[in-house]
Structure 1
Amino acid sequence: MKLQTICAALALGALAVAANGAAAADNAKAEAAYKATCMACHGSGVMNAPKVGDKPAWKPRVAKGKPAVYANAIKGFNMMPARGGNPALKDDEVKAVVDYMIGKSS
């Protein structure tokens, strides 16, 4: 019985390491997409884009809920073009970049 418990614990540990590795890879992809597409405006606040890291600017946006922020990023909002002007980004990629920016800003 002890061996089964040890094996189960090792398996869970391996799954956690794999999940953390996958999350880190996904975060790196989101960061790369942010730098390639979104940073031009969200890094400097061009056309009133909320700057990444500006918690007060992001607070009312986050308060609307992530689905609303995702929809704005995908469809475009005010001066921001759909998908930040990069039509090659898939919905899930846009959502990952939104999550990345919110994570840095809240």
Structure 2
Amino acid sequence: MKKILLAAAVSMLSFQALAAQDPEAVYARACAACHNGQLPMAPQRGDQAAWEPRLAKGMDVLVQSVTNGLNAMPPRGLCMDCTAEDYQAVIELMSK
């Protein structure tokens, strides 16, 4: 019984990690305005050198920064309907 419950819990966690929205679409509507170079302190999409120290903090910290806002970035990063999984997918997209 414990093995079945553990397998079910792992399955649920794997389903929850999927982004509900297309990361490209979220980036285009909510992130690109600042992360395409308009704000010099916002790391640009694909700038691995700029993203490296941020990624070193861990994905949970980055998602928390987007959710709460950081420096010039407003809370939720202009995506009011994004989930933590959506933010993670967009961060992964931008940092590669």
The TM-score, its normalising length taken from structure 2, stands at 0.70
**Of 34, 37, 57, the match for 1:41:** 34
Q: Secondary structure at the match of 1:48?
A: coil
- The count of corresponding residues between Structure 1 and Structure 2 is 78
Residue 79 in 1 paired to residue 72 in 2? yes
The TM-score, its normalising length taken from structure 1, stands at 0.64
For 2:37 and 2:76, locate their aligned partners in 1 and report how far apart those are by CA, in whole Å: 18
For 2:44 and 2:38, locate their aligned partners in 1 and report how far apart those are by CA, in whole Å: 5
Residue 61 in 1 paired to residue 54 in 2? yes
Structure 2: gaps (5+ residues): 1-17
Structure 1: gaps (5+ residues): 1-22
Q: Secondary structure at the match of 2:22?
A: helix
Structure 1 residue ranges, 4+ long, deviating more than 6 angstroms after superposition:
none
Retained in 2: the 8 A contact 1:50–1:57? yes
Residue 90 in 1 paired to residue 83 in 2? yes
CA RMSD between the two structures = 1.9
Q: Which has the higher contact order (CA 8 A, sep 6+)?
A: 2
Q: Secondary structure at the match of 1:46?
A: coil
Whichever structure has more helix as a proportion of its residues is 1
Retained in 2: the 8 A contact 1:73–1:98? no
% same residue = 36
